[in-house]
């Protein structure tokens, strides 16, 4: 496939769930700040907005009302941009994590396995994974699979095969998380090989955490993958 047939999709993660204004005054925290920050990224070429929201104290939340306001703002300021809402575990517990899926965003993140994080277990129990996937099917939301380990890649392909996820898969390889998978170029190739072998029509992107962000951007783009800021 030539680059012209496969333009690189840039997803912008405007806020994340961890950084605060104390870490970096430029981090957009309020919905208004997030919309304007996304608008700038959209004009610079980003086509997916990966969204987390915060409560009034700046803490991560899964509050559907906040997600609704952010989604509406992005849709108004950035026509045609793909809105992807996070169902990640830093923002809520259990089914709270999927409380915004009835908003029918274009996409939502979906973890399909569990793994260690720097100081704790990132818990995605099988019944919660299946429930989130079923909510995405019910509300016509395209999942972005967050793969923190090789078995997560395999699990996504099994979920597609038995109908729990509608294909083609869109899989993000997440690297550089302490106590999970480090940024390792050979293992990125293994991820790509395994995904191609088990789900030949899948698309993939890659994200490096913290200092690994640009490294993963370069590795992904060099391999014809998509990328995440």
Q: Measured from the CB atom, is 147 or 220 closer to a second copy? A: 147
User: What does each C-alpha distance from 38 to 1, 42, 69, 140 come to in angstroms?
Assistant: 30, 6, 14, 23
Chain positions 158 to 217 lying near Zn ion, rule: CB under 5 A, are none
Contact partner at residue 86 from a second copy, Zn ion, none, CB < 5 to 8 Å by partner kind: Zn ion
Contacts of 32 (CB under 8 A, 6+ apart): 73
Binds a second copy (CB under 8 A): choice among 121, 138, 161, 214: 121
Q: Can residue 179 be called a binding residue for a second copy (CB under 8 A)? A: yes
Binding mask 124-163 for a second copy (x = CB under 8 A): xxxx-x------------------xxxx--xx--x-----
Q: Measured from the CB atom, is 86 or 115 closer to Zn ion? A: 86
Q: What are phi and psi of 85, to 5 degrees?
A: -100, 140
Output the smallest distance, CB 5 to Zn ion, in A: 29
User: What does each C-alpha distance from 154 to 46, 81, 197 come to in angstroms?
Assistant: 28, 29, 10
Q: Determine the Cα–Cα distance for residues 178 and 225; give it in Å rounded to an integer.
A: 23
Q: Determine the Cα–Cα distance for residues 53 and 63; give it in Å rounded to an integer.
A: 8
Q: Measured from the CB atom, is 111 or 183 closer to Zn ion? A: 111
Output the smallest distance, CB 217 to a second copy, in A: 21
Q: Determine the Cα–Cα distance for residues 3 and 168; give it in Å rounded to an integer.
A: 20
Chain positions 100 to 119 lying near a second copy, rule: CB under 8 A, are 113-116, 118-119
Chain positions 22 to 61 lying near Zn ion, rule: CB under 5 A, are 39
Binds Zn ion (CB under 5 A): choice among 19, 47, 77, 96: 77
Q: Determine the Cα–Cα distance for residues 135 and 114; give it in Å rounded to an integer.
A: 19
The owner of tokens 């955490």 is: 209
């Amino acid at each position: 496939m030539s680059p012209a047939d496969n333009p690189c999709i840039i997803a912008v993660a405007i806020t994340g769930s961890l950084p605060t204004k104390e870490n970096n005054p430029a981090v957009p925290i309020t919905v208004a700040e997030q919309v304007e920050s996304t608008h700038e990224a959209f004009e610079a070429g980003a086509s997916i907005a990966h969204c987390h929201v915060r409560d009034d104290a700046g803490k991560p939340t899964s509050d559907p009302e906040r997600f609704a306001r952010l989604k509406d703002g992005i849709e108004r300021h950035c026509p045609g941009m793909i809105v992807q809402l996070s169902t990640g575990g830093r923002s809520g517990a259990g089914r709270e994590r999927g409380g915004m899926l009835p908003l029918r965003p274009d996409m939502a993140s979906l973890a399909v396995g569990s793994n260690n994080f720097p100081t704790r277990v990132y818990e995605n129990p099988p019944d919660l994974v299946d429930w989130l996937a079923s909510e995405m099917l019910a509300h016509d939301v395209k999942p972005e699979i967050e793969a923190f380990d090789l078995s997560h890649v395999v699990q996504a392909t099994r979920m597609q095969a038995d109908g729990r996820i509608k294909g083609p898969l869109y899989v993000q390889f997440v690297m550089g998380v302490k106590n999970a998978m480090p940024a390792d170029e050979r293992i990125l190739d293994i991820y790509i090989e395994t995904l191609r072998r088990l789900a030949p029509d899948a698309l993939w992107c890659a994200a490096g955490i913290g200092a690994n962000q640009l490294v993963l951007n370069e590795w992904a783009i060099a391999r014809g993958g998509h990328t995440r800021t």
